[in-house]
Structure 1
Amino acid sequence: MYENTYPEKRFKITLEFLKKHAPPPAKILDLGVENPFSRLLSSEGYTVENTKGQDLDEDQKQLKTSSAEITTAFEIFEHLLSPLEVLKSLQSDYLFASVPLKLWFAKAYQSRTDPWDRHYHEFEQWQFDWLLDKAGWEIIDSESFTHPVKKIGLRPVLRYFTPRYYLVFCKRKP
């Protein structure tokens, strides 16, 4: 099972989705600081450049100057006030992105200790599709998946059946 080789179920699903459409080697600009998943991408043969922790709502310089073929943004857009501007600033021809979906049984996440660790947006699938379209991206493929948590209660049980993440592969519109 995935726990033996991947720290999280979503890592396995996301990596398989990426490899299906863009097998290594490929040059990737990964939005967000280096993290366990970007290190996994590197170990799988991708060349990965991460953003440096800058506030992407305010500073898109690295996005506008990157020569990466692909941009990845896994669980990033929900943290931005203006994801439209970030999406429009990307220079790559392809985008892989995932967002947590809005759940009727859970409020948007907000850390009480870390001001950066909060969700300004929790998308419904149609909302994220619309955002991508408006920013000039065409969705080629998508997948929704659940992400159960190892806790007891009604919400953890609902997470076994309710899709939590939405993953897309996009191409820049001509």
Structure 2
Amino acid sequence: MYTKLPKKRYAHTLKFLQTHIPAPAKVLDLGVRNPFSEIMEENGYTVFNTNGEDLDLIPELVKEYDVDVVTAFEIFEHLLAPFNVLREISTTKLVATVPLKLWFSDAYRSKTDMWDRHYHEFEDWQFDWLMEKSGWEIKGTEKWTNPVQRLGIRPLLRSFTPRYYAVYAEKR
């Protein structure tokens, strides 16, 4: 059905979510509905998504949902101030993934979509610090690579350099 989906990333993300938040659970998935929203539903989760609102301008939007967990899969790097959203989350559980900063590649920036940009690409310690400073205690983490099927130095480096960082945290 979805032939161009990032299968490895989605498989790792789902396994990480299931490890820390078993289904059934009500999930607020930050960001618009996407293929991973459907994957979560196919695996027993009830999923609500935000509707593309600018969470930098209205971070309190996340309080409008009565859920068991908030998920943020590759969302915080698009926000100027992820700290504000993290502080506003009222549920006590959070599962998030972020792209890690790669020393051999510039931060992602779409040339055609002015909203599709990474304001942050974190090192793991930076994201941990952001989580802790905004009131979360990290209970579990995992990293994985994102190899690409191309020839070259960067594709080779991507085969063993972690690109994604997953965090399960609980509110203090």
TM-score by length of 2: 0.95
Q: CA deviation at 1:61?
A: 3.8
Contact 1:100 1:122 in 2 (8 A): yes
Residue in 1 that maps onto 2:61: 62
Q: What per-residue deviation string (whole Å, max 9, x for no partner) do you get for residues 51-79 of structure 1?
A: 00001100124302211110000000000
Contiguous gaps of at least 5 residues in structure 1: none
Q: Give the Cα–Cα distance (whole angstroms) in 1 for the partners of residues 132 and 60 of structure 2.
A: 22
What is the one-letter code of the residue matched to 1:105?
A: F
Deviation track 1:78-120 (CA, whole Å, cap 9, x = no partner) reads 0000000010011111000000000000000100110111000
In structure 2, the partner of 1:136 is 135
* Displacement of 1:7: 4.5
Match of 1:76 in 2: 75
The percent of aligned pairs where both chains have the same amino acid is 56
Q: Equivalents in 2 of 1:138, 1:123: separation in Å?
A: 18
Distance of 1:18 and 1:110 partners within structure 2: 27
CA distance in structure 2 between the partners assigned to 1:101 and 1:87 by the alignment:
18
In 2: Cα distance, 1:15 partner to 1:92 partner: 20
Structure 2 counterpart of 1:120: 119
1:7/1:79 Cα in 2 relative to 1: closer, same or farther (>3 Å)?
Answer: closer
2:15 partner letter: E
| Inter-partner Cα distance in structure 2 for 1:152 and 1:37 | 28
Counterpart CA distance in 1 for 2:70 and 2:17 is 11
Structure 2, unmatched stretches of 5+, are none
Aligned residue in 2 for 1:95: 94
Partner amino acid, structure 1, of 2:112: T
Q: Pairwise CA RMSD of aligned residues?
A: 1.4
Moved more, 61-70 or 137-146: 61-70
In 2, Cα distance between the equivalents of 1:165 and 1:72? 15
Q: How many residues align?
A: 170
How far apart are residue 150 of structure 1 and its match?
1.5
Q: Which amino acid aligns with 2:132?
A: D
Moved over 3 A (4+): none
**3-state SS in 1 of match to 2:141:** strand
